[in-house]
A = this chain, B = another copy of it.
Amino acid sequence: MIIDVHGHYTTAPAALGRWREAQVAALADPAQAPDPAGPAIGDDEIRESIETNQLRLMDERGIDVTVFSPRASFMAHHIGDFATSSAWARICNDLCHRVAELYPERFAAGAMLPQSPGADPATAVPELERAVTELGAVAVNLNPDPSGGSWTAPPLTDRSWYPVWEKLVELDVPAMVHVSTSCNPAFHTTGSHYLNADTTAFMQLLQGDLFADFPRLRLVIPHGGGAVPYHWGRFRGLAQALGKPEPEQTLLSDGNVLFDTCVYHQPGIDLLLSVIPYESVLFASEMIGAVRGIDPRTGRHFDDTRRYVENAGLSDGELAAVEEHNARRAYPRLDARLTAQGR
């Protein structure tokens, strides 16, 4: 079975975008506030948006199941306040839940959190709990920079984040550390902000000792870990300079930190899988995401990462771990869902 742990509902029906526009407009003019119940979107609209897009490509590429969360760049936690993000997260999470209900064998829901700049991370816990216990989310996306490029939040090792980590451990759910839109003109959202956030989060974890306090916490660093595997020697040397053991030992070996395979060319995937132990790598594509085009050199989509992963020279057992078993171990609620389906 091939599990893609990184998919977003980038193709949601237009009514969702209109609802958000009205919500944003209402920040200045309350008369424009949209229906608090959310946009009216029929099941057929959802089916259309999925079957012509993600499901079509999953079938073409042989991907069985995708962990499917709200569009990352649209989380835009910097807009409005906690109430704004709370209403928006609820609606987006409900929609991903409906996708997973319509295609229970093909999608499992991931959830966004109602974060907001300056808001105590603990305020995200109720929606986290609702998404997991009521909507069946098997993972959440956690934004280390709700400001959208000002990086005003404390590091992930700060105690203000601990209520989130406690709840994730209690629910046995991993978090993908994933920023949203950059509203800083220095940072291109998908070209630099996403990758910078991955590198930043990893280094925060390397500097700290979070997993001593939360040995069962699992954090997924997306986009192949940003710059980390390419600079693995630097991070090993920095760990040494900080008086710490090898990062493999402190961060990877107990399954606390995992990297996904959203790296859009063969040499990058080859490096990832040659440097990072295969047990710490999860297959993912973030398809119909940052890079949607076809590589003229290969004639295939840049984001068709399965092709790179399968050409990286792994043994059959290693490949099965990256494409299925590591995800079932790191996402126990996904494993339970698949097991209940007899898979």
Contacts and interface: CB of A to CB of B under 8 A. Distances in A.
Interface of A: 144-145, 149-151, 153-155, 184-188, 190-192, 195-196, 199-200, 202-204, 206-207, 223-224, 226-227, 229-238, 240-241, 263-265, 267-268, 270-271, 274-275, 290-293, 295, 302-303
A203 B224 contact: no
Contact of A203 (B191, B271, B291): B191
Given A231-B263, A236-B302, A292-B241, A192 B185 contact: no
Contact of A206 (B150, B151, B191, B231): B191
A199 B238 CA distance: 20
A186 B238 CA distance: 16
Secondary structure at the A interface, as helix, strand, loop or mixed, is: helix
B267 A275 contact: yes
Contact of A265 (B149, B232, B241): B232
Given A195-B227, A230-B263, A151 B292 contact: no
A241 B289 CA distance: 11
Given A155-B185, A241-B292, A293-B240, A207 B233 contact: no
Interface centre among A153, A155, A230, A241 (most CB of B within 10 A): A230
Nearest to A199: B192
Contacts of A153: 186
Contacts of A229: 230
A291 B238 contact: yes
Contacts of A290: 234, 237-238
B233 A230 contact: no
B191 A196 contact: no
Contact of A227 (B186, B227, B237): B227
A196 B186 contact: no
Nearest to A230: B230
A234 B263 contact: yes
A9 B154 CA distance: 32
A154 B185 contact: yes
A299 to B, nearest CB: 13
A227 B200 contact: no
16 contacts: A144-B186, A149-B151, A150-B150, A150-B151, A151-B186, A155-B186, A191-B203, A191-B206, A191-B207, A195-B231, A224-B230, A232-B268, A233-B302, A234-B264, A236-B265, A271-B271
Contacts of A206: 188, 191
B187 A200 contact: yes
Contact of A230 (B184, B204, B268): B268
